[in-house]
Structure 1
Amino acid sequence: MSNLDNLTSKIIEDAKKKADNIIAEAKEKESQIIEKKKKEAEKSSQNVIEKANLEGKNLFDRAISKTELKVRNEKLVAKQTVINKVFNEAVKELNAMNKEQFLSYVKEQIKSLPISGEQNIIVASKDKEKITSEFLNELNGELKNAKIILSEETREINGGFILSKDGIEINCSFADVIDSLRYDLENEVANMLFD
């Protein structure tokens, strides 16, 4: 029996060693799996943090760009408002001319235009009495191929005049003259005002 007991003991001992080895291997694998999952979780959390930081930076950069663009646009609107006031003031200054200055302006403008034949001069009702027959005679005496006649018609223009012949008009109202000069002068005016 002792052989049987020894054999049984040996089998049990071997089985116990094998079980201990299996348990040790399982614990080792468990530790490896846990360590691997920890590293994956750390890497994943690091990726999430990096992505969140990048998204946060992008949102911040976009907010800054949007604000800078808004400020730039507001500056442009403010500058344009000032420039508009300058050109509106120019029209007011032209309207403030006395009769002699106004007639001198009309004469010089008409003489500079490539006109011929009979032209009707149309003015605002406030300027109608300034255009006298003496003025027209003097002006017509200086023109080579054209004759200016005061039209009965008046227009709602802010100073200046309009020449009309056969339905074709040349607009020399102050506002129109300033608008035509504006394209060429706007940059110069902006540089004078804002540099």
Structure 2
Amino acid sequence: MDAIHKIIEEINNQAKDNRDRFEAEEIAAIDSWFLAEEQAATKTHRQQQDKQLKDLQQKYKQLRSRQQMDVRQESLVEKQRYLDRLFEEAYTKMATWDKEEIQGFAEVNLKRLPIAELGVLLPSGPNATMALDASFVAEVQKELAYQLTLGEPLTAGGEGFVVDVAGVQYNFLYRDLLNEQRSLTGNEMSQKLFG
């Protein structure tokens, strides 16, 4: 019987060794699988975090850029409003010139006109119409190289005057002169005023 016990014990030992080896192999395989899954999950998590961080950085850059653009736009609008007020104040000042100032402005500009034909002076606005009358035309005519006559006052256009030479009009309406000046020097003025 001893031999049978020994055989049974040996079979049991062999089976136990097989079970222990199988259990150790399975535990090692499970540990290896778990480690690989954990590493893959960690890698995926890091990739997602990196992607989310890049997305947040991109959104931040876009929002910052948009905010800077809005600030620049608001600043430009404010500068434009300031220039509008400046030119409106200049027009108001010109439109309320007294007779001497209006006549002085007209005389300087009439002398500069490069014309040889008959010119017709067309005052515009109540102040210019009052200042640029027949006596003014007669007085300034003495210093002009061309013939100038007084025409009918303009009913629209604001303060100033126009000189008509055979259908070609030289515009000295104050608002138009200021608008032209603004279009020519507006950027330069902005640079000087706002740096």
TM-score range, shorter chain: 0.7 to 0.9
| % identical aligned pairs | 22
- Output the amino acid matched with 1:36: A
By how many angstroms is 1:41 displaced?
Answer: 1.3
In structure 1, how many angstroms separate the alpha carbons of the residues matched to 2:188 and 2:92?
A: 20
Q: 1:192 and 1:63 mapped to 2: Cα distance?
A: 31
Partners of 2:119 and 2:149 within 8 A in 1: yes
- Which residue in 1 is equivalent to 2:138? 137
Aligned Cα root-mean-square deviation (Å): 2.3
For 2:57, the equivalent position in structure 1 comes to 57
Q: 1:170/1:155 Cα in 2 relative to 1: closer, same or farther (>3 Å)?
A: farther
TM-score by length of 1: 0.86
Deviation sequence 1:105-152 (CA, Å, 0-9, x none): 1111111121221122222251323222222122222121x2222222
Q: Return closer, same or farther for 1:130/1:24 CA change in 2, 3 Å cut-off.
A: same
Which amino acid counterpart does residue 137 of structure 2 have in structure 1? L
Q: Secondary structure at the match of 1:142?
A: coil
Q: Which moved more, 1:54-63 or 1:160-169?
A: 54-63
Give 1:26 shift: 0.8
Q: Give the drift of 1:53.
A: 2.5
Q: Deviation per CA, 1:48-90, whole angstroms, max 9, x where unpaired?
A: 2232223223222322222222112111111111111111111
2:72 aligns with: 72
SS at match of 2:158: coil
Any unmatched runs of 5+ in structure 1? none
Q: How many residues align?
A: 194
1:136 maps to a residue whose letter is: V
Deviates more, 1:72-81 or 1:160-169: 160-169
Could you tell me how far 1:12 is from its partner in structure 2?
Answer: 4.0
- The unaligned stretches of length 5 or more in structure 2 are none
CA distance in 1, matches of 2:192, 2:87: 13
TM-score scaled by length of structure 2:
0.86
